[in-house]
């Protein structure tokens, strides 16, 4: 395996390994965790950032710019990637993700929160309308990862209403306990295996990897 390949493997997989480890530990927790769709998307964007670096970024890298600016060209491309991710997040409809909980466990907690926030709230199956908060949503379940998403179901949404819902639901979830998700063990295992593979390919020839890094940065 060429030395450059070892470097690229490490760059591509290190963020992904970290993401799998964190996600696995979250699923092994005995408490649910709530986050916004924006933060969830940002975490996923970080997880695949290494693949983006060794894929599209390097593919479309302008050689003249790399020679002129050296390592700074990578900083500029990463900044452009970050701005693109921020733009996508800003254009996304509101969404809340509750990890490590089932729909049956979340439904009564959410019903209690909704009753306190909006006396005019109406349920229709898994859909919910909170007219006083300006929030319309439906519940989407991901059984494998044991999470439930509260997804906006219309274009007219109040961001302030979503923030109130997130704050109130987060407070309610602090008192809740759940059983760990067995899938979390698999995620942690995969993360550890990937991290071990990265360590192995980097430790085989550190001087060669440094040389490859210098070439990549055009030093």
User: For residues 111 and 113, what is the distance between their CA atoms, to the nearest angstrom?
Assistant: 5
**Residue 3: per-residue pLDDT:** 41
64, two tokens:
């003249």
**Residue 214: per-residue pLDDT:** 75
Residue in 48, 44, 156, 45 with CA at minimum distance from that of residue 94: 156
**Residue 218: per-residue pLDDT:** 62
Q: DSSP string covering 131-149, please?
A: TTTTEEEEEEEETTTTEEE
User: For residues 24 and 195, what is the distance between their CA atoms, to the nearest angstrom?
Assistant: 14
User: For residues 99 and 200, what is the distance between their CA atoms, to the nearest angstrom?
Assistant: 32
Looking at CATH, the fold of the domain delimited by 94-179 is given as TATA-Binding Protein (3.30.310)
168, 113 contact by CB (below 8 A): yes
Q: How long is the chain? A: 219
Q: Alpha-carbon dihedral of residues 22, 25, 26, 29, nearest 10 degrees? A: -160
How many CB atoms are closer than 10 A to CB 128?
Answer: 21
User: Counting beta carbons within 10 angstroms of the beta carbon of residue 206, is it exposed (0 to 12), middle (13 to 18) or buried (19 or more)?
Assistant: exposed
189, two tokens:
């295992």
**Residue 2: per-residue pLDDT:** 45
Per-residue pLDDT of the chain (219 residues; tens, 9 = 90+): 344 568 888 899 999 999 999 999 988 988 899 999 999 999 999 999 999 988 888 777 766 666 666 668 888 889 999 999 999 999 999 999 999 999 999 999 999 999 999 989 899 988 999 999 999 999 999 888 889 999 998 778 999 999 999 999 999 998 888 888 888 899 999 999 999 999 998 888 787 777 777 777 764
pTM comes to: 0.85
Sequence-separated (6 or more) residues with CB below 8 Å from residue 109: 169, 172, 173, 176
Residue intervals of the chain classified under CATH 3.30.310.80 are 94-179
């Amino acid at each position: 395996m060429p030395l450059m390949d070892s470097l690229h493997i490490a760059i591509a997989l290190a963020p992904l390994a970290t993401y799998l480890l964190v996600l696995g530990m979250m699923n092994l927790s005995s408490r649910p965790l709530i986050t916004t769709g924006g933060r969830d998307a940002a975490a996923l964007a970080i997880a695949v950032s290494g693949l983006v670096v060794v894929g599209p970024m390097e593919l479309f890298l302008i050689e003249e710019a790399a020679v002129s600016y050296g390592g700074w060209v990578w900083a500029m491309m990463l900044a452009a990637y970050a701005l693109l991710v921020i733009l996508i997040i800003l254009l996304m409809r509101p969404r809340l993700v509750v990890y490590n909980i089932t729909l049956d466990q979340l439904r009564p907690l959410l019903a209690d929160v909704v009753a306190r926030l909006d006396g005019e709230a109406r349920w229709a199956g898994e859909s919910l309308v909170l007219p006083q908060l300006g929030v319309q949503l439906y519940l989407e379940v991901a059984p494998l990862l044991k999470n439930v998403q509260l997804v906006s179901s219309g274009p007219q949404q109040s961001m302030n209403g979503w923030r109130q819902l997130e704050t109130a639901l987060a407070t309610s979830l602090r008192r809740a306990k759940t059983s760990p998700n067995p899938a979390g063990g698999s995620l942690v295992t995969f993360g550890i295996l990937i991290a071990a593979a990265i360590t192995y390919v980097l430790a085989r020839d550190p001087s060669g990897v440094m040389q490859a890094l210098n070439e990549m940065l055009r030093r």
